[in-house]
Structure 1
Amino acid sequence: MNILIVEDNDIQLQSLYKILSEKYTEDSFTYMLADNYDEAICIINTNNIDIFILDIALGDNPNGGIDIARFIRFKKNMPYTPIIFITSIATQITTALNELHCCSYIYKPYKPDDVYSAFNFCIHKDIEKSSYITLQDINSISLKINFSDIYFIEADSHILIFYTKSGRFLIRNKSMDSVEQNLPDEFVRCHRKYIVCVAYVTNYDKTNRMITISTVINNKPQNFHIGIGKKYKDEFEERY
């Protein structure tokens, strides 16, 4: 398991590494250390990281760790990778939890047990294998939709329409980009207005750039024909 620790204070960086490596030994864990944004991004782009430990304030940037977390969440393979934030400012945790869905956080000054508690929680919280997405519909009703039930998602003005085995659900206050970040690999953006589950694509007409999705919604079979946007063609074909 690869662990990236980002902390601009070298003493605290080495202290975190020492605290963790003494309990979670390097027989099973590989620790990577960075003390600035650019170094962290380089490591992220060249390694598969399983858990991130990010100090929120890095150097002159009070939100440097937040910026790194946003970069992580925009990567296709890391929408659920556990992030532990370190901070001495309580108000920063709101962004960490609500926007970036951090797994846990550690307040400064911390003790080894604080670090162990947060780290252990992330190891055993199987975020990446979450099987559903939680959303709020246009009537402010909270919904839990299984990924396996979603055929495709359509953007219609300011509303997202989820086509699922149980019916259509209209979702507000969500963008296609934000939803796409939280979907597993079997979903792909094929058009500015559409995200599809490739498992339900039954035909692809390359000449006309048109796919067919076969659905059974509320026990009624129905085929949908969706165009592939030129911008999204290569990625769709790579994932299809």
Structure 2
Amino acid sequence: MSLFHPVNLVCPACNAVFTMPAVGSVNADRRPDLRDDILNDSFQDTVCEACEAEFRLQPEFNYLDVGRGQWIAAMPAGRMPDYLEVEDQVSEVFETSYGSKAPKAAQEIGDGLTVRLTFGWPAVREKILTREAGIDDVALEILKLDMLRNMENARIGPGNELRLVGDMGADLAFAWIASDSEESTGDEFLVARYAYDTIASDPEPYAALREDLTDGPFVDMQKLYVGRGRGAPPLPETDVDAILEEADEE
């Protein structure tokens, strides 16, 4: 089931204190309306009772969609620098709920779930949209890295995220989004889905990147610039380019 609990909030505009229900878990099979709210960027929106300022509660919940095979631990954007520690915590939660430490019936459900960790609303929305569009999220992250090589004004950096925001059929819509405000920092742009299909249909040339991206539940190209994973240093942009260029040659 989907669970909510009351939390006390301080309005960022007037400092008034009020209470709202915060989500602890979302079951999209039983509450598809909550899934729709996430996709519509309206989930956990609230209005200050004193000054009527609008703001959004940062995500901190588990998302389950058995029908689509998704289990997502959605965390606040500010926790991303500590993603390795959060990955350990999230993995333990999943193991207890649906993995090796869970009852047999729960393990059977867990066998059909893809486990992911996200930071911030744009990221969790993207994971849900990706599954809806029938897109492999690992191939999508490789596509993003490939796109960055050809962008003259790439906005990659702390607090700025390149996100899939729409599936147009023959094209995929992307936008640069600010992590703190969750607002677009530029116009949306389209990329032919064929570019994604080319990567998804032949994953072998990108094996090194896939290994780095999937060494834990946080599957996001941003991790390559924070720290490649367990025991590996951050990956310089030139190294990403080299790996992709080798894949092109193959």
Common fold: TM-score over 0.5:
no
TM-score, normalised via structure 2 length: 0.26
TM-score, structure 1 normalization: 0.27
Q: Greater strand percent: which structure?
A: 1
- Higher helix proportion: 2
More relative contact order, 1 or 2 (CA 8 Å, 6+ apart): 2
